[in-house]
Amino acid sequence: MSEIVIAMYRPYDESNQGALKELIRQHNTTLRVEEMITDRPAILMQAEDGTFLEIYEWLPGAAEAAHDHPALQKIWKRMQEICDFAPLISLPEAEKSFPHFTPVDGVVT
């Protein structure tokens, strides 16, 4: 059974936003090329505090396999140098019944 995930990346500072968007693009592209996510279009959006939320759908078993994938390990390591992997509860928007986020176009497919 597939699973939808919300991956959250909070840049350490605003100057990292461009580099982080590029890493998110690489992340999404790698997941697609390696056939780890479904054909459902991914969504990238941004919270008021600058946190990026990447939403995509894992294929069965792919989430576990990703942790051993060298290209993804490299991307995640570079991400950790410029951002935190934030929990959903850390966003002020998470306290609202209908949270709103800003769409980020041209990064994920």
Across the chain, what does the average pLDDT equal?
Answer: 97
Q: How far apart are CA 4 and CA 37, in angstroms?
A: 9
Confidence of residue 10 (pLDDT cuts 50, 70, 90): very high
Order of strands across the sheet that contains 83-85: 83-85, 3-11, 52-58, 43-46, 102-103
Q: How far apart are CA 80 and CA 31, in angstroms?
A: 18
What pLDDT score was predicted for residue 50?
A: 97
Maximum distance among all Cα pairs of the chain, rounded to whole angstroms: 39
Mean of pLDDT values over 72-95: 97
Tell me the pLDDT tens digit for each residue of 17-68. 999 999 999 999 999 999 999 999 999 999 999 999 999 999 999 999 999 9
> Domain coordinates of the chain in residue numbers?
3-85
The architecture of the domain spanning 3-85 is 2-Layer Sandwich (3.30)
